[in-house]
Amino acid sequence: MLREFRTGNEYPYNRSTSVRWVVSHVMRYPLLPIGFVILAIVAISGFTYTSIQIQQAFDIIKDRKPIEQLVGVSIAIFVVRSAFALIDMINTVIREFLASRMERDAREELYISLLSKSQTFHNRQRVGDLMAAATGDVSQLNMMISPGISLIIEATTQLITPVIAIASISIQLLPIPLLFVASLIWGLIRYNRQLGPVAGMMRGQYGVVSATLSEAIQGIEVVKATAREKFEADKFRAVIARYRDLFVQEGEIKARYIPFLFYGLMTGLGFGHAMWLQSTGVITTGQVVAFMTLISLFQFPTFISLFMFSLVQFGLSGAQRILKIINTETEMDENPVGESHVVSGQLEFKNVSFGYGDANILTDISFSAKPGETIAIVGQTGSGKTTLTRLVNRTYDSTEGVVSIDGIDVRLWNLDSLRSQISMIEQDIFLFSKTIAENIAFGARNDVPRERIIWAAQQAQAHDFISGFPEGYDTVVGERGVTLSGGQRQRIAIARAFLTNPRILILDDSTSAIDSATEDQIQRAMREVLKGRTTLLITHRLAQIRWADRIVVIRRGRIEAQGSHEELMQQSMSYRRIFARDEHNQPST
């Protein structure tokens, strides 16, 4: 299975079907389910045996036997019922522990799987839907184990042991209980066939609800700015209405649960049959009492099955959704045995094309960069500049041609080694909801001394504004860094790049939100610190373009021209337009 990332110690779960996947999770701790089943059989068998003891007590009273015998039976019933309570308590602890472990393991497996997926996979997913799987669907697995499957095991033993006990009283009492058990099984099969598809649709719709809500909250600035609150509210009502309709459909299926009727019929027919056998002398009155006590034990599995099989269906539907995500193969492999050494920075694009389906974003791209060179990439918005740079660190893989580093196809490199030596700073900076120091040190592989973090911030001209915060480098930024300005976020990202000491640096309009004075200071620091490092620079600022060793002009996914500033001013109409716009201080398109 292709993955970009592996932990190296993953447990070998069976992912062929949702049922096998759940079983492989449960059997990761084999002693727990085995112990639970054994204790459940012992407990229910003891509880069933008390029905026989009740028969003995009734016969003692009826036949006016010595009171000591009644006391002995009463003590025995007390001891057995107390033991049952103790075993049930132990089993409760076992099932809750097993369910919590499974939930933890499944959530960890899903999280690691999401980390291992390629950027192409994540581009196709809605964050809210993935969050629904990681929270709601995984929680359903817990409920499926406890109380779902654990109650099924208890209910099954509570169907079998009374039947055996009834047979020990009189074989002639068996027909009606056996008929009931057969009808119960038939009713459960029918119930699960009806409920299964609805449960799957409910879990899927839950993901849609979560995704709709997530998109609205993440885009709340756009919603507010365009006065689309009512539109979003109406859209959410329509989505949640579908979820409500599925709940109603589930309720209708439960309302038609016919085993309740079967249990009532069995109780009446069973009592009539037992009284007829007693009247003919086949069984005693005490045995009639024991039989009816045993019949009452069928009430628990009958009534609880409505609830527990619903939990199992929802759990399996959630497992199927989770497994679909986990089993989705990524477009690239981490190549653990690939090239893994320090790169010099020789970069080459040779007849490279890239696109989705039949539509190419880049076509026949060819250029090279020597170690330490700075290549400026310019072009109109949407021409494919950012996509081109993302082929270097294998965010995407080219569909044709070869991107190579030090003469080696990037696909032959160990992915971790490759990416650890490439740093990318983009215009839209993502910061984690952590301290500023933690965000600067995020890309480093080991613990970084505070002195190094401060040095990197100073090089990126970020130290002064960081020191101005009451908590300095320990200031916690808001989610995605919303408590900082755009220029502050970009300087923190640049400090992160200084700290990781990359061999190849990609700057994607990284100083767009920084004032000119600060930008000049950063550029002077970069010229000194990044000597010997290959740099790809996407920008429309002429000051930075002129700084490059060579300029590549991209137009509609193709290279229109490449060379120095002076050469391109003579050769490229597109480049002259960019220059003219910049001279007149107009925004580039």
* 303-359 per-position pLDDT tens digit: 888 888 889 999 999 999 999 998 887 767 778 888 888 999 999 999 999 987 678
What is the per-residue pLDDT for 9? Answer: 58
Same topology, domains 18-213+244-327 and 428-501? Answer is: no
* 512-552 per-position pLDDT tens digit: 656 666 666 666 666 665 677 899 998 877 777 877 889 99
What is the per-residue pLDDT for 558? Answer: 93
What is the per-residue pLDDT for 586? Answer: 43
CATH superfamily of 428-501: P-loop containing nucleotide triphosphate hydrolases (3.40.50.300)
The answer to whether 76 and 60 have CB atoms below 8 angstroms apart is no
CATH superfamily of 335-421+503-513+532-589: P-loop containing nucleotide triphosphate hydrolases (3.40.50.300)
What is the per-residue pLDDT for 514? Answer: 64
Letter for the amino acid at 322?
I
Classify 422 in phi/psi space as left (phi over 0), alpha (psi -120 to 50) or beta: beta
Q: Tokens 């000049």 — which residue?
A: 520
Select from 406, 390, 378 the least CA-distant residue to 352: 390
Per-residue exposure over 345-382, b if at least 16 CB sit within 10 Å of its own CB, e if not? bbbbbeebbbbeeeebbbbebebebeebbbbbbbbbee
Q: Phi/psi at 342 (nearest 5 deg)?
A: -70, 130
Give whole-number Cα distances, 125 to 236, 395, 453, in Å: 19, 16, 35
Select from 369, 439, 444, 365 the least CA-distant residue to 400: 365
Letter for the amino acid at 574?
S
Give the N- to C-terminal CA distance of the chain in Å, as an integer: 42
The answer to whether 392 and 403 have CB atoms below 8 angstroms apart is yes
Secondary structure element (H or E) that encloses residue 352, with its range: strand 347-356
- The ranges assigned to domains in the chain are 18-213+244-327, 335-421+503-513+532-589, 428-501
User: What letter would DSSP give residue 137?
Assistant: I
Q: Judge residue 123's burial from the number of C-beta atoms within 10 Å of its C-beta, 0-12 exposed, 13-18 middle, 19 or more buried.
A: exposed
- pLDDT < 50 stretches in the chain: 584-589
Rounded to whole angstroms, the Cα distance separating 86 from 81 reads 9
What is the per-residue pLDDT for 270? Answer: 94
Letter for the amino acid at 292?
M
Q: Judge residue 471's burial from the number of C-beta atoms within 10 Å of its C-beta, 0-12 exposed, 13-18 middle, 19 or more buried.
A: exposed
Q: Which fold has domain 18-213+244-327?
A: ABC transporter transmembrane region fold (1.20.1560)
What is the per-residue pLDDT for 547? Answer: 77
Classify 117 in phi/psi space as left (phi over 0), alpha (psi -120 to 50) or beta: beta
Q: Which residues contact 17 (CB under 8 A, 6 or more apart)?
A: 323
Give the pTM: 0.73
The long-range contacts involving 582-587, CB below 8 angstroms and separated by at least 24 positions, are: 582/540, 582/541, 582/542, 583/542
* 553-586 per-position pLDDT tens digit: 998 899 999 998 888 888 888 888 876 655 544 4
Cis previous bond, 147, omega within 30: yes
Select from 16, 18, 317 the least CA-distant residue to 140: 317
Rounded to whole angstroms, the Cα distance separating 477 from 141 reads 35
